[in-house]
Structure 1
Amino acid sequence: MDQDELVVRLSRDEALVLFEWLSRTDEATNDFGDLVVDQAEQRALWNLTCLLERALVEPLSPEHQELVNQARSRLRDGN
C-alpha cells in the first residue's frame, strides 16, 4: 500500500447503501449539487462511487432494488 493511501473497510451492506445514495444523488444533480463546495470534493465522491461500483455485483443484478432494501433494513438501528 502506498503511504498516501488509506484503507477503509465497509460491510457489503454499507457499501451497497452508500453506492446507491451516491449514485442517486449524482444522477439527480449531475454534480452532487449543493453537497460540494469545491470541485475536489466532487472528484472524491465520483472516485468513491467508481470504487464501489467496481467492488459490487449487486448493481447489475435484476434484484438490485430488493438487495438495496434488504441492506438498508439490516443497517437500520435496532436490527
Structure 2
Amino acid sequence: MDDEAITIKLTRDQALVLSDWLYRAMFRSDDLEGIVSDRAVWSPIYAISGTLDKTLSEVFMPDYGPRLEAAKQRLRVGLYGEGDEPTSPAEGG
C-alpha cells in the first residue's frame, strides 16, 4: 500500500464534536485503549485529532463549552429532527 493521502470532509460542527470526543477518549480517560485495542489504529486517530486541533480555533475560545453544545444540538437535529432525539446517553453521546 502506498502513502497516498485521503481527504475526509466534515462540517465545522462535525469536526468540533469529533475533536472533543477524541480529546476526551485520548487524554482525559483510559477509554482509547478500551475502545481501540490495536495500536496500529492509533496512528490515524492521532493524525485526525492533530489535524482537527490545528484547524479548529473554537477549541481555544473562552465560550468553547456553549459552542460545542450548540454544535451537538445542530447535529442531533440534523440526524433525528427537532423533537426526535434519542433519550439514552449511549444513543446520543
**Normalization by structure 2: what TM-score?**
0.75
Which of structures 1 and 2 has the larger relative contact order (alpha carbons within 8 angstroms, sep 6+)? Answer: 1
| Structure 2 SS opposite 1:32 | helix
TM-score between both structures, scaled by the size of structure 1? 0.88
Corresponding position of 1:50: 50
Unaligned runs of 5+ in 1: none
After TM superposition, give the deviation of residue 36 of structure 1 in Å. 1.1
Q: Partners in 2 of 1:35 and 1:45 — Cα distance?
A: 12
Farther off after superposition, 31-40 or 43-52: 31-40
Q: Which runs of 5+ in 2 are unaligned?
A: 83-93
State the partner residue of 2:62. Answer: 62
Larger radius of gyration, structure 1 or 2? 2
Identity of counterpart residues, as a percentage?
A: 30
CA distance in 2, matches of 1:5, 1:42: 17
Aligned residue pair count:
76
Structure 1 residue 39: deviation in Å?
Answer: 1.2
Match of 1:5 in 2: 5
Matches within 5 A, 1:4-43: 4-27=4-27, 28-29=29-30, 32-43=32-43
Runs (4+) off by over 3 Å: none
